Amino acid sequence: MRTSILSLLLLLVILAGCSPSGRHTLSHRSAEIYPGYAGTVIPYNIAPLNFAIREGATKYRVRFIAGADSFSISCRQTVDIPLLKWRKLLAAHRGERLIVRISARRPGGWETFSDLLFTISPEAIDPYLAYRLIEPGYTTWGKMGLYQRNLENFDEQPIVTNDLVDDACINCHSFRQNDPSTMLFHVRKVNPGTVFLRDGQLSRVNTQTANMISAGVYPRWHPGGRYVAFSTNTTRQNFHSVHTNKVEVYDMASDIVVYDTQTNRIFSAPQLNSPNHFETFPEWSPDGAYLYYCTAPARPMPAQYDSLRYDLARLRFDADAARFASAADTLVRASLTGQSVALARVSPDNRFVVFCLSHFGTFPIWHRENDLYILRLSDGTVRPMTEINSPESDSYHSFSSNGRWLVFSSRRADGAYTRPYISYLDPNGTPSPPFLLPQKNPEFYDLSFKSFNIPELITGPVDVSPTRFARAVRNPSLRQAQ
Amino acid sequence: MRIFRIAGAAIAVFAWLYGFNRFQVFYYQEQFQLFRADALYLRTFLSQPGGLAGYAGAFLTQFFVILPVGALIYTIVLEVLRRSFYKVLAGFITGGALFFISLVPVALLLIPIVQIQSNIASVIGLLCTLPAFLLYRRANARWRYAAGAGLMLAVFFAAAAHVWVLAALIAIHEWFGRRGPSRYPGVALPTALSLLIPWAAQQWVYTAPIDTSFYACLAWWSVPAIYLLCCLQGPRIAEYFRRRPQVGIALSILCLAATLAHVVSKYDRTTETILHIDYEIRHGRYDRALDIKARTSSDSRHVLYLANIALLETGRMPDEMFRFRQAGPAGLFLDRNGSYFSYIYLGEIYYRLGLMGAARHCAYESMVAWSQKPNAQTLAQLARIALVEGDFAVCDKYLRSFEGALFYRSWAGEQRRFLDERRRNPAFIPPHIPAPVAGLENFFINYNAPEAMMKKILEADSLHRKAFEYLMAFYLLSKDVESAKGLMDRYYAGLGYSALPASFEEAMLVYENAVGQPHTYIISANARQRFSQYLRAAQSGANRNWMQQHYGDTYWFYLHYVQPVPLQTSSESNRY
């Protein structure tokens, strides 16, 4: 009996040592955390949202609560959430609230801040995110590569890096409807060409034919996997002396063509390669029946670079006959309101189109005013996605395969480097506040000098090794498109 | 005696590195990295073979910010290397010859070390290899294969291709240390592993190509070569040198002298001068920079360009620019060829003139063109530019990198105070950072047309004396006296000069003489008299050398005798 009492006392002493001791105060404000994740909707399969607490204390206790389950950790400034506990908590409480309760040790006691609230979505996000890591694009480039990040943990693997391919420029990776087994990317300057991955086979194609203004640039796979629409562009880049946007990238000319991967043939339509218009940024509807694209009346460039404004149009496509209809529909006449559309993406349920809107031009990523807008196809209504937009450029975006998640690039953190943000889209197309792609070390973004370029959600990893891609790039056999 | 030999060799190495290669080794290498003590930075090294040696090299390189300390570190590292090799050879050779022979790899390493893109990591790599081999030699005979494989693996991950040196040493050791068929596995195994380990690592561990971290250098191979020689003829050599120590010493001295001669012949005086002037300019010591220019015989365009910046900063450009041998507009603006140096130096003049869009662009391009990690020089420039441009978040981001760097913390702290002040007071411009040109109209930067950009600066700020003087210099060096006169007519009166500077005075005399039209500028009697003398001498057919001797510091001489080097224009290409 005496032993039991002593054991109990000992246990109490230990427990007292584990819990915040001394004077305990409750704060009516939330703790400042970085990145600011609070209030977001997160997929149940997302990696731990590690964060740093910036409250000037030397020690913190953080409790993660969902339903009746919880776990807590002690830390200094950086909260490194145990992966297994996090995963178990979120998986068990899909559709519920996640509460994060932070206490800071102050001289004389503990201060507990107001709870940070999250919503755990029952809908999973595609487990991988593919992107290019590159310094914000100027004229030169250094080390760059295409990478794939497992969103369920922190593993990042290269798909291919340019030091494997003689420091060439690698760009414009594109997947067929989030499918990692059907993809392409371009290689420029050294061993130029477009590398296709289909059915486990790699091939390298020169997509430029005699009557095209350039090789294929901005690509989009037809959902059937046979065709790829490319813009072809003569693109220039200039640097402003004093302007809120530091860089201006514009086309001197642009068209759209379609490459048939089966016949190795390039074809187009008069609406897509009109000499009087610039056409760019192709996108297919999920059923493959329409090609969406941006179009603007041709202007003398660069003299009128700031009055070039693109509208959003679509053209019916018959995949069996490989033929476009003769008349296009204009869906968003942005030019009428002094705006310019870029990078339209159709949701997998074919109900919405999300696109970039800026004051002018064709390169929204360098336009601070650029925001994301959503078009409801059923009634043609367009609205800004104010829930996710910021004062900096919010641009390149892609949908998850289930259509519930949207990843996009934003320069909101510092105006210079793009970071991937993820937002939940409800069935009505209303987005929730976005959260920054979590990293193992929350200081990662402060110390990284790379931009996350073209974030694309994919349903699994690209199952081809970087060295195999590199061999394909270096392979002298280059298929010439006809 | 031995300690004197060591001290003598160390002093020679120190003197050579510090005295002749100070800027292209220590200043350059320190500026072109930014060592941070955080895990993310370490990870960037560990993602490629040899990352540990690279990280250790970066750690040591941060101390090069104090130039003599850099020379001292290199000397110590080389001495440790010599000492390790000494131990490797100690069983075969003895006496004074051993000391000199152990110096051979050090002497050979001096050749790559003084090359501008060398890296102390390569020496550290070799430094990892020799102790690994000594450990292998001490390993129990039964476990030596396992020990060898483990050491090779460790050396590959720590020092990349130095594993080949280790493999060669092990193979030699096994071949000569054993008899009969038992020696074959001892040769075959390290040979196979030296190929297998890099291949397997590239397949499953690293994506970096195999050659990225192979700090290839000849000096490596001197180690196994000398070791092989000692294994083959060790006792004989030892005996020979014991009997005739003077021969060994003479041979070693000959070898070292040949190396030294090679090192001296490879000495890149121009690069050393460019980086020295650059160093002085970045420390605000413009007069010292001009002294270096005055002393050098180099015709380097970069030297001239930097000297012209120093002249501009001291306000001596209009009076003294022709005291230095000018080469034309190409000495005022650099060409853009996509390299690190072309961008970092091209942007310098725009930075100093307050054309921050161009300065930022150049600093950024140079950072990207630098294939290594972001470096102190460009990041600091970008932080300063972001600070005065009001890009506070970007400035904050760049400063964070410096806050994790031992020698830049206090600088970053100072910049952060400026940042806070600038946030509070938008009119505040931190000391030593040029103010951006106020009221500048936006335009696309065109490095092919610097004249147009300078004009834009003056249109925005007619009191911008530096821009005025630089544009005047541009016109004078382009031999465009009419444009110079036009520029003077438009801006000179408002700029508060107490007297007409020498080069302007000389240009106006040419204008009078050539165009035959009057002007309103007051020209000293002395200048008129000298110009008359110049004309008489020129008309009398005085030769170029005589003219240069007497009038080489005048615009007139430049105008008549110097063929200006024009700017090279770069063409635009499709971005995709």
Chain A CB contacts of B401 under 8 Å are 447
The CATH number fitting domain B285-424, selected from 1.10.3720.10, 1.20.1260.60, 1.25.40.10, 1.10.1740.10: 1.25.40.10
- For the cut 50, the answer to whether the pLDDT of residue B316 exceeds it is yes
Scan residues 156-175 of B and list those with Cβ closer than 8 Å to A.
Answer: none
pLDDT > 70 in chain B, percent: 95
Taking CA–CA distances from A188, the nearest residue in chain B reads: B576
Scan residues 48-77 of B and list those with Cβ closer than 8 Å to A.
Answer: none
Of A121, A148, A182, the residue at which a domain comes to its end is: A121
SS (H, E, C) chain A: CHHHHHHHHHHHHHHHHHCCCCEEEEEEEECCEECCCCCCEEECCCCCCCEEECCCCCCEEEEEEECCEEEEEEECCEECCCHHHHHHHHHHCCCCEEEEEEEEEECCEEEEEECEEEEEECCCCCCEEEEEEECCCCCCCCCCEEEEEECCCCCEEEEEEHHHCCCCEEEEEEEECCEEEEEEEEEECCCCEEEEEECCEEEEEECCCCCCCCCEEEEEECCCCCEEEEEEEEEEEEEECCCCCCEEEEEEEEEEEEEECCCCEEECCCCCCCCCEEEEEEEECCCCCEEEEEEEECCCCCCCHHHCCCEEEEEEEECCCCEEEEEEEEEECHHHHCCEEEEEEECCCCCEEEEEEECCCCCHHHCCCCEEEEEECCCCCEEECCCCCCCCCEEEEEECCCCCEEEEEECCCCCCCCEEEEEEECCCCCECCCEECCCCCCCHHHHCCCEEEEEEEECCCCCCCHHHHHHHHHCCCCEECC
pLDDT confidence bin for B335, thresholds 50/70/90? confident
Would an 8 Å CB–CB cutoff place B400 in contact with chain A? yes
DSSP B444: B
pLDDT confidence bin for A150, thresholds 50/70/90? very high
Instruction: For residue B453, give how far its alpha carbon lies from the nearest alpha carbon of chain A (Å).
Output: 9
- For the cut 90, the answer to whether the pLDDT of residue B13 exceeds it is no
- Count of CB atoms situated within 10 Å of the CB of B183: 16
- For the cut 60, the answer to whether the pLDDT of residue B293 exceeds it is yes
Within a domain: A44: yes
Taking CA–CA distances from A192, the nearest residue in chain B reads: B576
pLDDT confidence bin for A16, thresholds 50/70/90? very low
Ranking B333-337, B394-398, B498-502, B509-513 by mean pLDDT, the lowest is: B333-337
Q: What is the mean pLDDT of chain A?
A: 93
Scan residues 131-160 of A and list those with Cβ closer than 8 Å to B.
Answer: 135-136, 138-143, 145, 158
Contact (CB<8Å) B41/A217 = no
Q: What is the mean pLDDT of chain B?
A: 89
- For the cut 70, the answer to whether the pLDDT of residue A155 exceeds it is yes
A446 → closest Cβ in B208, B209, B400: B400
Q: What is the number of structural domains in chain A?
A: 2
Cα R_g (chain B), whole angstroms: 30
- For the cut 80, the answer to whether the pLDDT of residue B96 exceeds it is no
Would an 8 Å CB–CB cutoff place B456 in contact with chain A? yes
Q: What is the pLDDT of residues A77-92, one digit of tens each?
A: 999 999 999 999 999 9
B361 → closest Cβ in A138, A142, A441: A138
Contact (CB<8Å) B574/A214 = yes
Would an 8 Å CB–CB cutoff place A276 in contact with chain B? no
Taking CA–CA distances from B364, the nearest residue in chain A reads: A138
Taking CA–CA distances from B436, the nearest residue in chain A reads: A242
Listed residue (B348, B340, B423) closest to B388, CA to CA: B423
Contact (CB<8Å) B357/A239 = yes
* pLDDT score of A15: 46
Would an 8 Å CB–CB cutoff place B416 in contact with chain A? no
Looking at the structure, do residues A96 and A133 belong to the same domain, yes or no? no
Looking at the structure, do residues A206 and A319 belong to the same domain, yes or no? yes
Kindly list the strands in the beta sheet with A78-79, ordered across the sheet, starting from the edge strand earlier in the chain.
Answer: A33-34, A51-53, A78-79
Instruction: For residue B488, give how far its alpha carbon lies from the nearest alpha carbon of chain A (Å).
Output: 25
Q: Are B220 and B163 in contact, with CB atoms under 8 Å apart?
A: no
- For the cut 90, the answer to whether the pLDDT of residue B541 exceeds it is no
Taking CA–CA distances from A158, the nearest residue in chain B reads: B207
CATH classification of the domain holding A172: 2.120.10.30
Q: What is the pLDDT of residues A190-245, one digit of tens each?
A: 999 999 999 899 999 999 998 899 999 999 999 999 999 999 999 999 999 998 89
Chain B CB contacts of A366 under 8 Å are none
- Supply the pTM of this predicted model: 0.91
Looking at the structure, do residues A133 and A90 belong to the same domain, yes or no? no
3-state helix vs strand vs coil in chain B, percent to 5: 75, 0, 25
Looking at the structure, do residues A276 and A141 belong to the same domain, yes or no? yes
Would you kindly state where each structural domain of chain B is located, as residue ranges?
2-267, 285-424
* pLDDT score of B239: 78
ipTM: 0.90
Within a domain: A394: yes
Looking at the structure, do residues A218 and A253 belong to the same domain, yes or no? yes
Scan residues 402-461 of A and list those with Cβ closer than 8 Å to B.
Answer: 413-417, 441, 443-444, 446-449
Helices and strands, number each (H, E), in chain B: 29, 0
A141 → closest Cβ in B368, B391, B574: B368
Q: What is the mean pLDDT of residues B375-400?
A: 95
User: Whole-angstrom Cα distance, residue B389 to residue B399?
Assistant: 15
Looking at the structure, do residues A200 and A85 belong to the same domain, yes or no? no
Q: What is the mean pLDDT of residues A1-11?
A: 53
Chain A interface disruption, residue of B34, B336, B576, most A CBs within 10 A: B576
Looking at the structure, do residues A263 and A364 belong to the same domain, yes or no? yes
* pLDDT score of A386: 96
Of A60, A92, A121, the residue at which a domain comes to its end is: A121
A446 → closest Cβ in B202, B365, B397: B397
Within a domain: A6: no
Would an 8 Å CB–CB cutoff place B435 in contact with chain A? no
Taking CA–CA distances from A134, the nearest residue in chain B reads: B368
* Lookup: tokens for B307: 């000297």
**Beta carbon pairs, A and B, within 8 Å:** 125
Looking at the structure, do residues A86 and A141 belong to the same domain, yes or no? no
Q: How far apart are the first and last CA of chain B?
A: 67
Chain B interface disruption, residue of A242, A244, A419, most B CBs within 10 A: A242
Looking at the structure, do residues A112 and A142 belong to the same domain, yes or no? no
Within a domain: A12: no
Looking at the structure, do residues A373 and A234 belong to the same domain, yes or no? yes
* pLDDT score of B499: 93
pLDDT confidence bin for B219, thresholds 50/70/90? low
Task: Choose from A42-51, B118-127, B266-275 the range with maximum mean pLDDT.
Answer: A42-51
Would an 8 Å CB–CB cutoff place B404 in contact with chain A? yes
Would an 8 Å CB–CB cutoff place B198 in contact with chain A? no
* pLDDT score of A3: 52
A239 → closest Cβ in B369, B391, B444: B444
Listed residue (A446, A443, A442) closest to A49, CA to CA: A442
Burial of B37 (0-12, 13-18, 19+ CB in 10 A): exposed
Would an 8 Å CB–CB cutoff place B371 in contact with chain A? yes
B207 → closest Cβ in A135, A136, A158: A158
SS3 B166: helix
* pLDDT score of B1: 61
- For the cut 70, the answer to whether the pLDDT of residue B216 exceeds it is no
Instruction: For residue A87, give how far its alpha carbon lies from the nearest alpha carbon of chain B (Å).
Output: 25
Within a domain: A330: yes
Looking at the structure, do residues A159 and A58 belong to the same domain, yes or no? no
Q: What is the mean pLDDT of residues A371-394?
A: 96
Q: What is the pLDDT of residues B250-282, one digit of tens each?
A: 776 777 777 778 777 778 889 999 999 999 999
Within a domain: A178: yes
Listed residue (A37, A81, A48, A96) closest to A435, CA to CA: A37
Contact (CB<8Å) A241/B370 = no
A367, HSE (Cβ side, Cα atoms, 13 Å): 22
Taking CA–CA distances from B204, the nearest residue in chain A reads: A465
Looking at the structure, do residues A62 and A186 belong to the same domain, yes or no? no
Within a domain: A5: no
* pLDDT score of B423: 95
* pLDDT score of B50: 87
* pLDDT score of A70: 97
Q: What is the mean pLDDT of residues A252-264?
A: 95
Q: What is the pLDDT of residues B168-186, one digit of tens each?
A: 999 999 988 777 777 888 8
CATH classification of the domain holding A50: 2.60.40.10
User: Whole-angstrom Cα distance, residue A331 to residue A357?
Assistant: 14
Q: What is the pLDDT of residues B416-450, one digit of tens each?
A: 999 999 999 999 999 989 999 999 999 999 999 99
Instruction: For residue A374, give how far its alpha carbon lies from the nearest alpha carbon of chain B (Å).
Output: 29
Q: Are B384 and B353 in contact, with CB atoms under 8 Å apart?
A: no
Ranking A137-146, B276-285, B299-308 by mean pLDDT, the lowest is: A137-146
* pLDDT score of A18: 45
Would an 8 Å CB–CB cutoff place A249 in contact with chain B? yes
Of A68, A92, A121, the residue at which a domain comes to its end is: A121
DSSP B306-364: HHHHHHHHHT-HHHHGGGS----GGGTS----SSHHHHHHHHHHHHHHT-HHHHHHHHH
Q: Could you list the residue range(s) of the whole structural domain that residue A457 is in?
A: 128-480
